[in-house]
Amino acid sequence: MSRQAYRAALLHMLDDPSRAPAGEASSYHPDGLLVVEDGHVAAFGAYADLAQGLAGGTEVIELPGRLITPGFVDAHVHYPQVDVMAAWGTQLLDWLHTHTFPAEQAFADRAHADATAAFFLDQLLANGTTSALVFCTVHKGSVDALFEAALARDMRLVAGKVLMDRAAPAGLTDTVESGRADTEALIRVWRGRGRLGYAVTLRFAVTSTDTQLAMAGEVAAAHPDVLVQTHMSENLDEIAEVARLFPDARDYLDVYDRFGLVGPRSVFAHCVHSTDDALTRLARAGASAAFCPSSNLLLGSGLFSLKQACACGMNTALGTDVGGGGSFSLLHMMGEAYKVGQLRGDNLDPLHAFYLATLAGAKALHIDDKVGNLVPGKEADFLVLDLAATPLLARRTAKAKTLAETLFVLSILADDRAVERTYLAGRLAHRRDGA
């Protein structure tokens, strides 16, 4: 058996702080000890309580001035869009045609997919993201490339091949039958390997015919362990186009609902312009939303209301939406989510933001029995955050009087330099240069 212990400040979430009684949602130990055995958490608590009981010979790694947290979960990200990050001057529909579709066409080339998948996963780890729900491209090989790279790193990742049988350039569309065959083959090959999961992945209602949407619903129903992921109600022109394409649908959500695509394992990216009625129906179905504040600001999509989503009872997680989003950092997303709240007159509590970036994401991906916090028995996916990673961070965190203030400072001032180490199942998977 392998056993390591890490002494640092420890923080994880046990529940949604907007719903749980005060003080019960999080667990924080300013001088804590995390014990890892064979890749799983064996103990999480105060150093004073745990040090005595440590098995003889256990190495204790001392990490003063550091904060250990669970790995972040990115609930919505596109690995083939690394090269369209920071595209200037367009909103969603133009952005797709001008920047994104040309970039995704390059993934017909397996070597390009392999190289980008490796770069992408290393960016996730450098930013402290240990799990993600990922869009690949329409090409089956793009999924093999990502899953092979994730398997080699032993990451807990969920991903899928994009289904798209209309309104996209030649070379970037499939058909109902090829989409079904590729999806079924990928599920067959990848299900249960390593820490991987599959998501039936529809780009959005604009790029799939009724027949393809129905096929996706059938495939999801035939494989109850897979997720469903797509985009919804992100941009006003997109919503108008969906209304034009599906004149009989009650609203955007109804397009997905009528094809059996709305259930507890469905994750809808954006939901920026969703009504209370749609959010309540999503919540009743047990579906989750991925709030992507950086992308929503950069693409001018709109201001998601977390308050509205919470009031409707919907599980909401955070997504970078790279390449619409401008960063891989979930710390940065916590800060962007706060800024969106400011523009709506809502103050996002820093612990709530941290919940969105960890346990809420794990719940959305249905992996919260394995990751999302550091409760004993879970897989030891965690980070070591350096509160003094830069002179400014050192100066500002030293002045922070509460945990909430420290977290907020990190969300506004930190980036991947603050992620000193990232561990996957107890194994060091990333170490910041010079750390």
- Provide the binding-site residues for ligand GUN, judged by CB under 6 A: 78, 92, 96, 100, 203-204, 231, 234, 295, 321, 324
92 binds, among Zn ion, ligand GUN, none (CB under 5 to 8 A by kind): ligand GUN
The tokens of 386 are what?
Answer: 């350096």
The least distance separating Zn ion from the CB of residue 324, rounded to whole angstroms, comes to 6
Q: Closer CB to Zn ion, residue 297 or residue 425?
A: 297
Q: Closer CB to ligand GUN, residue 26 or residue 207?
A: 207
Measured at CB, which residue is nearest to ligand GUN? 324
Q: Closer CB to Zn ion, residue 36 or residue 299?
A: 299
283 binds, among ligand GUN, Zn ion, none (CB under 5 to 8 A by kind): none
Q: Closer CB to ligand GUN, residue 47 or residue 204?
A: 204
Q: Closer CB to Zn ion, residue 144 or residue 321?
A: 321
Q: Closer CB to ligand GUN, residue 269 or residue 365?
A: 269
How far is 291 from 293, CA to CA, in rounded Å? 6
Q: Going by C-beta distance under 8 Å and a sequence separation of 6 or more, which residues neighbour residue 244?
A: none
Task: Specify the stretch interacting with Zn ion by CB under 5 A; choose among 204-212, 316-324, 333-341, 414-422.
Answer: 316-324
The type of residue at 184 is: E
Q: Closer CB to Zn ion, residue 69 or residue 327?
A: 327
State the virtual CA torsion across 354, 352, 158, 142 in degrees, nearest 10: -70
335 binds, among ligand GUN, Zn ion, none (CB under 5 to 8 A by kind): none
Q: Is 18 left (phi over 0), alpha (psi -120 to 50) or beta?
A: alpha
99 binds, among ligand GUN, Zn ion, none (CB under 5 to 8 A by kind): none
272 binds, among ligand GUN, Zn ion, none (CB under 5 to 8 A by kind): none
How far is 96 from 179, CA to CA, in rounded Å? 20
The least distance separating ligand GUN from the CB of residue 294, rounded to whole angstroms, comes to 10
Q: Which of 321, 379, 381, 386 binds Zn ion (CB under 5 A)?
A: 321
The least distance separating Zn ion from the CB of residue 325, rounded to whole angstroms, comes to 8
Task: Specify the stretch interacting with Zn ion by CB under 5 A; choose among 21-29, 314-322, 397-405, 427-435.
Answer: 314-322
The least distance separating ligand GUN from the CB of residue 183, rounded to whole angstroms, comes to 18
How far is 162 from 335, CA to CA, in rounded Å? 30
Residue 205 is classified by DSSP as G
Q: Are 227 and 210 in contact (CB under 8 A)?
A: no
Burial of residue 170, with CB atoms counted within 10 A of its CB: 0-12 exposed, 13-18 middle, 19 or more buried: exposed
Give CA angle at 324 (319, 328), nearest 5°: 50
Q: Are 62 and 33 in contact (CB under 8 A)?
A: no
Q: Are 251 and 278 in contact (CB under 8 A)?
A: yes
Burial of residue 385, with CB atoms counted within 10 A of its CB: 0-12 exposed, 13-18 middle, 19 or more buried: buried
